[in-house]
Chains A and B, each alone.
Chain A
Amino acid sequence: MDVREPILSIKDLKKRFGSKEVLKGVQLDVYKGQIIGYIGPNGAGKSTTVKIILGLEEEYSGQVTLFGEDISASSVEYKKRIGYVPEMADLYDNLTAEEYLTFMGELYGMEHETAKKKAEKLIGLYGLSEVYESRIASYSKGMKQKILIISSLLHNPDVLFLDEPINGLDANSVMIFKELLAQLAAQGKTIFYSSHIMDVVEKISNRIVLLHNGQILADGSFEELKNQNMEGSLEEIFNQLTGFNEHKETAAEIVSVVQEV
C-alpha cells in the first residue's frame, strides 16, 4: 500500500486559536480509493483539519500536501479536484436549485450549459425534478442536503470531504448515498467522511481515523481496531478510546432530575 504516492499527506499539523491549541501535530497519509471515517468528539479538531485542507484556515504549522503539492504554496487550482459538503447547510437559498448548482459548476470551471445539464440529470436521479426551479429556501432539510451533495459532486472531484452528509436524508436516500460512496471509491476517488453516527461510519469506511484533543488516537480499519484489544462496535471502541465510560451514570442522573418535577 505504501508503495503508492499518497493523495493527501499531512505532516505534523499544528494550529492554535489564541492560547488554545486545537491541533497538536497531526500525521496522516491518505491513498487513492480510501474511504476514511474521520471521527472524534466535539471540539477534537476534525472540522479544523478539513478547513485547513480547503484553505479556509491559514496560519498553521506543519505541512499539508494534496495531489503532491504543498497547499500553502500552490494556487487555488488544486481546489478544482475537491468536493465539499459543509456541516452547516450554508446555501444561497434565495436562488433556485438550478441557479445555485450551475453557479457552483461554473465556480469549478465548468461551462454553463454542461453544468446545467449535469445538475438537471443529478437532480432528477435524486427525485427533485419538480422543485428544480423553486427557491432552495422552500426546501426541507433533506432536500437541502441533497443539493449540497450534488453540488459537491458536479465537477467530478477526486477527493471528497463530507461533514455529516446524511443529515436529514431519509433511509432510502441514505442507502443510495452509501452505495454511491462505495462505487466512487471503487473508481479511485478518495473520501473523507466525518460524522458522529458511528454505525454508518463503521459500515462504509475502510479506514477509521480517530481524532481526540488535537491528536490522532487510532488509525486503521475497523477490524484492525478491534484486534487492538478492543471489543464491540465502533461506538464502544470510540467510548473506550476517548476515555468516556460514565454514560450510564450521567443518564441515571438525568433521569433523576427529570423525575423531580
Chain B
Amino acid sequence: MKEFRTLLFLDWFQGLFTRLGFDYRLLRRILQVKLTMDQRRVPTIFQQQGRKKGKDENRFIKSLWVYALFGLFVIPFIVMGDQYIFQLSITFTVLIFIVMTSMISDFSVVILDIRDHTILFTKPVERKTISLAKTLHVFIYLFFLTGSLTAIPLVIGLINHGLSFFLLFLSGIILMNILIVVFTAMLYYFILQYFDGEKLKDIINYVQIGLSIGLAVGYQIVARSFEFVDLTISFTPEWWNIFLPPIWFAAPFEWMLNGNHHVMILILSCIAVLFPILALILYVKALPTFEKNLQKLSSHGSKKKKAHFRFGDGLMKVLSRSNEERAFYRFAHYMMKNEREFKLKVYPALGFAIIMPFIFIFNGLMDGSREDLLTSSMYLSIYSSFIVIPTVVMMLSYSGKYKGSWVYKVAPVSSRSSIYKGTLKAFLMKLFLPLYALISIVFIILFGYRVIPEIAIVFISACIFSVICLSLMKGALPFSESFEGVQQSDSWKVLPFYLIVGVFLGLHYLALQVPFGIPGYLVILFVVNLILWKTAIKDQ
C-alpha cells in the first residue's frame, strides 16, 4: 500500500492526536486503507469514461481538475462589479450545488459504509478513533474538493477586490462546507429514521443522476446566463431571504465591504456564522444515534406497495403477441426501473434528450422573433431527442448484475428474438415514450395542434430507428455484460447512428414539401415499422 502525502501532512499533528487520547498509529492506518479504497472508486463525474483496469491511479485527485474547471464558472460573477449580495449569492449557489451533489454522489459511500461496523468495531480499536478517522476522511475529501474548486476564484477575488474580500470569501467557504457536511448527514439521518436503506440508496442514485444532468445542462445555461443577468437591479432584502443559504454567505460582503447596515443584512450575516456552528454542535451530539440508524442500511424494507402494471399491461398485450416476449418485456421493465447502476448510466442521457430540442429552440428564439418561430419548422428539432436511442440500445446489453444472465441459458427460451424484442419494446414504452410525450406536450403548446400528425411520424420513426440500432449493433443479450466492459471507444460507435437521424429528418422535410406528403409518409412509416419489427430481429 502506498504512502499518501496527506498522511505525511497529518503526521505533523501526531502529538496533538496522541495527547487527545487517540491511537495515532491505528488512526493513520485506517485512513490509509480508506484512501487506498477511494483510489479504486470512480467518481460520478468520470463515470462516462471507460474504466481502465490494473494500476491504481488516484482517480479522485485526477478528477479534481474538473472541479477546478467548474470553479471557473463563478469567476465572472466575482469580477463583475460590487453588487456583492447579488454576485456572491450566485457564486455560493453554484458552489453549494457542486459541493453538495458530489458530496452525496461520491462520498455517501464513506459516510454510509456499514462494513465498518463488522470489520472495525469488532477489533480492539476505540470507537472515538474510528469516528475521528471517518470525520478526517470526509474532511480530507472536502478539502481537496473545495480547494480545487475555489482556489482560482479566491485568487481572482484577492486581486480584484483586495484582502478583506479574500478573507470573507475564505471563511464563507469554510462555513459553507460545515453546513454541507452537517446537512448531508442530517438528511441521511432523517431518511434512515423513516425509511430503510433501499430508499436511501434510491435517493442517492437520483442525486447522482441529477448531478450528471445538472452538469451537462450547466454548460448550456451558464454560457447563456450572462446575457440575462441585469446588474442594475438594486437588491432589497426580504424576510424570506432567511431561507436561502447562499444569501446568508453573501450578506457579510454587503455589510463589510459596501457598508450596508440594513437590519436584514445584519441578521443574514449573523445566521451565516451562527447557523453552521450550531448545526455542527447538533451533529456531534446526534452522531451516536446516526451510527445506530446506519444499521438499517443493511435491512431490507418489508412493506413495499406493489404497483400495478396498470395501463402498460394492456398496451403490452397489444404490442407483444407471444407470452415469452411479454415475460421479457416485464423483466426488462423491472430491470430498467430497479437497477441503480443502469439508471445511473442511462437516465442522464434521457434527461439530456429532453433538453436537446429546447436548446435548439432557444437558439432559434435568439435569432428570430416569436412569430417567426411559430410558423417555422423549428419543431423538427424534436428529432434531436433521438440521440438517446443508440446510447440506450447499446447500454441495454449491460447490467451491474450481469451475472444473473445465466437464466437465459438455463431457461428453455424458444426464440431468442423475443428476448430482444421484449426488451426493446419495454425501452420504447417505459423510457422513451414518457420523455417523448413530455416534449410533445410542450411542442403542441408552442407550435399549435398542426404538429400532432408530425409528432406521430417522429414517434414511429423512433421505433424504426431503435430496431435499426439494435440490428446494426448486434449486442450481447440484454443485461448480460458487466459495465466494466463498456469501453471509451463505445461512445464513438454511437456517432454513425446520428447520420441515420439525419436521414429521418431529411425524409420528413421532403414529405413537408409534397402535397399530402405528411399523411402519406405516416402510412408508409407505419407499414415499414411493422415489417421491420417482424423481420429485422431474427433468431441468432
Contact = CB atoms under 8 A, between A and B. Distances in A.
Interface of A: 54-56, 75-80, 82, 84, 86, 88, 90-92, 94-95, 99, 102-104, 106-109, 135
A99 B40 CA distance: 13
B1 A99 contact: yes
A140 B125 CA distance: 29
Interface in B92-145: 114-115, 117-127
Given A99-B36, A106-B29, A107-B26, A91 B119 contact: yes
B40 A90 contact: no
Contacts of B41: 94
A104 B114 CA distance: 17
A92 B32 CA distance: 13
Given A86-B118, A106-B29, A92 B37 contact: yes
A201 to B, nearest CB: 23
A88 B119 CA distance: 11
A76 B117 contact: no
B118 A80 contact: no
Contacts of A80: 124
A174 to B, nearest CB: 23
8 contacts: A56-B117, A82-B122, A90-B114, A99-B33, A99-B36, A103-B29, A108-B124, A109-B124
Most chain A Cβ neighbours within 10 Å, of B115, B117, B122, B298: B122
A77 B33 contact: no
A122 to B, nearest CB: 18
A221 B395 CA distance: 58
Interface in B56-104: none
Nearest to B288: A58
A95 B126 CA distance: 23
Most chain A Cβ neighbours within 10 Å, of B30, B118, B127: B118
A88 B121 CA distance: 15
Nearest to B1: A99
Given A91-B115, A92-B115, A95-B33, 12 more contacts: A55-B121, A56-B122, A82-B122, A84-B122, A86-B118, A90-B119, A91-B119, A99-B1, A106-B26, A107-B29, A107-B30, A135-B40
Contacts of A84: 122
Contacts of A104: 119, 123
B300 to A, nearest CB: 13
B124 A90 contact: no
A43 to B, nearest CB: 13
Interface residues of B, number: 24
Contacts, number: 66
Please name the 8 residue pairs, one residue from A and one from B, whose CB atoms are nearest each other, closest first. A79-B124, A107-B123, A90-B118, A80-B124, A94-B40, A90-B115, A86-B118, A76-B124
A1 to B, nearest CB: 29
A88 B36 CA distance: 23
Interface of B: 1, 25-26, 29-30, 33, 36-37, 40-41, 114-115, 117-127, 298
A189 B425 CA distance: 62
A56 B298 CA distance: 15
A107 B121 contact: no
B122 A103 contact: no
B33 A92 contact: yes
A131 B502 CA distance: 51
Contact of A107 (B37, B40, B117, B125): B125
Contacts of B25: 106
Contacts of B33: 92, 95, 99, 103
Contacts of A135: 40
Contacts of A79: 122-125
Contacts of A88: 118, 298
B124 A77 contact: yes
B119 A92 contact: yes
A73 B434 CA distance: 60
Contacts of B30: 107
Contacts of B117: 56, 90
B122 A54 contact: yes
Nearest to A99: B1
Contacts of B127: 76
Most chain A Cβ neighbours within 10 Å, of B1, B25, B26, B298: B1
A82 B123 CA distance: 8
B115 A55 contact: no
A109 B124 CA distance: 8
A95 B124 contact: no
Most chain B Cβ neighbours within 10 Å, of A80, A90, A95: A90
Contacts of A78: 124
Contacts of A94: 37, 40-41
Most chain A Cβ neighbours within 10 Å, of B25, B119, B127: B119
Nearest to B33: A103
B113 to A, nearest CB: 9
Contacts of B36: 95, 99
Nearest to B129: A76
A103 B29 CA distance: 7
Contacts of A76: 123-127
A80 B118 CA distance: 15
A135 B114 CA distance: 20
